[in-house]
Amino acid sequence: MVAPKMSDSHREDRKICFIAAVELTIRAFMVEHIKRLSKENRITVVVNTDNVDFLMAYGLDVRVFPVKIERRPSPFSDIRALFRLYRFFKREGFDAVHSITPKAGLIAMLAAFLANIPVRIHTFTGQVWAKKEGIKRGVLKSADKLLALCATHILTDSKSQQDFIVEQGIVLPGKSFVIGNGSICGVDNMRFRPDQKARMVLREQFLIPENDVLFLFLGRLTFDKGLLDLAGAFSKLCRSVKNTHLLVAGPDEEGIKERAVSVCNNCFDKVHFYDFTDEPEKFMAAADVFCLPSYREGFGIVVIEAGSTGIPTIGTRIYGVIDAIEENATGYLYEPGDVDELFEKMQKMIDEPEVREGMGRSARERSIQLFSREYVTDAFLAFYNGIFFKNKDTGDIYEKDS
């Protein structure tokens, strides 16, 4: 779909500010959106950075305003960031402020509300409190309620996440939207594609034979990502299957690697770790099955990236992931935390190679048809045009909840 074009009389009239806690969020999710919006709007990016020119590498000549926003709770730092943003918003008089990530969102939406910014948008990409209990859950949930109360528009990156936050009383019905078919930015289907050369090179690097089945986990190594469940299921798998490997790529934020190695002590030579990669497409091209054993996700964009490279996914039956995986067509779902069921799905992927490969082909087709970056960016622009021009014709591009 093509986003409605802005008329010449409105070019360069609007000032839009995007806010995130870290550079990586902007780099990973917002570059194409900002690139398109910056053609007809004045864009500012607020982020915790020492490099105000970091977007120049993407051909973006937009203003970057550094503000120290801590990802973890830090009351004094958070209050300083709130007042600094309030003064900045008041001085600049933005037409819209758009935040991504929970902490940046709370501070930005509160500051924008106090500064009377007319359009205040926040994108939810998952709820950190979803699997927590007691006082911590209550505090974090209340923070999201306050954030939503201060915003004029709420975006979620999946329909099931939208349903969840409405059901939990975070957002009132009618105030939240899903862009396109979900995901925050879509997938670059030319970057994420089957690549036999990359497959061979990476397998040689880790000494993985071509015909062995390679399961891949790619993401932050945290307890919420369920990596220990995956380690347990893979350890069980190795007792009966010899021609299989597990590759884990991502930064270890909570000391998970050592515990995962301990769980897999019967097959440690089949488990491979890689700290960080900015070329996830090569790891996906080398794999046969992607695994997302997460306990919470907003959407699970890695699933459609993996699908775009032509491999199926085994993922948890949680909101967000159920939108990314078409069950029994592009992958399998299982109950979060159920190591035995995860093992069974992994075994099935090995036992039925034709089904596995068919799922991979279907996953690529679905990624191209429903989640291409061009489609999602067009829908994102249509959402903005619908706000600024009250354009009712964009209803077929972004979906408002009932």
How much is the pLDDT for 303? 97
Which is nearest to 18 in space by CA: 122, 147, 158, 103? Answer: 122
Separation between Cα atoms, residue 273 and residue 206, nearest integer Å = 9
Where does the pLDDT of residue 397 fall: very low under 50, low under 70, confident under 90, or very high at 90 and above? Answer: very low
d(CA 179, CA 33): 12
Q: Which of 119, 112, 140 is nearest to 37 (CA)?
A: 119
Asked whether this chain's domains 8-186+372-400 and 196-370 adopt the same fold, the reply is: yes
Spell out the domain ranges in the chain: 8-186+372-400, 196-370
Task: Give pLDDT tens digits for 123-144.
Answer: 999 898 888 889 989 999 999 9
CATH superfamily of 8-186+372-400: Glycogen Phosphorylase B; (3.40.50.2000)
Check residue 4 and report its DSSP letter. Answer: P
- Over residues 178-196, mean pLDDT: 95
Rounded distance between C-alpha atoms, residue 235 and residue 203, angstroms: 20
On the 0-12 / 13-18 / 19+ scale of CB atoms within 10 A, 68 is middle
Instruction: Pull the structure tokens for residue 208.
Output: 């993985």
Share of the chain above pLDDT 70, in %: 94
- Position with higher pLDDT, 175 vs 66: 66
φ, ψ of residue 207 in degrees (nearest 5) = 60, 45
Range of lowest pLDDT (84-88, 114-118, 222-226, 367-371): 222-226
Mean pLDDT of 321-349: 97
Q: Is the pLDDT of residue 393 over 70?
A: no
19 or 387, which is more confident: 19
CA gap 154, 131 in Å, rounded: 22
Q: Which of the 8 DSSP states describes residue 318?
A: S
344-379 confidence digits (pLDDT tens)? 999 999 999 999 999 999 999 999 999 999 999 999
Which CATH entry fits the domain spanning 196-370: 3.40.50.2000, 2.102.10.10, 3.40.190.10, 3.40.640.10? 3.40.50.2000
- Quote the CA–CA distance of 29 and 20 in Å, as a whole number: 11
Interatomic CA distance for residues 390 and 61, integer angstroms:
29
Work out the burial of residue 84: count CB atoms within 10 Å of its CB; fewer than 13 is exposed, 13-18 middle, 19 or more buried: middle
Residues 6+ apart with CB under 8 A from 148: 122, 154, 165, 170, 171, 172, 175
| pLDDT, tens digit (0-9, with 9 covering 90-100), for 263-314 | 998 898 999 999 988 899 999 999 999 999 999 888 889 999 999 999 999 9
Average pLDDT over residues 164-177: 92
DSSP-assigned states of every residue in 47-78: EE-S-TTGGGGGT---EEEE----SS--HHHH
- The arithmetic mean of pLDDT across residues 85-94, rounded, is 97
Q: How many CB atoms lie within 10 A of CB 62?
A: 18
Token pair listed for 357: 């490969």
Structure tokens that stand for 245 in this block: 């490997």
Strand, helix or coil for residue 274: strand
The pLDDT of residue 21: 92
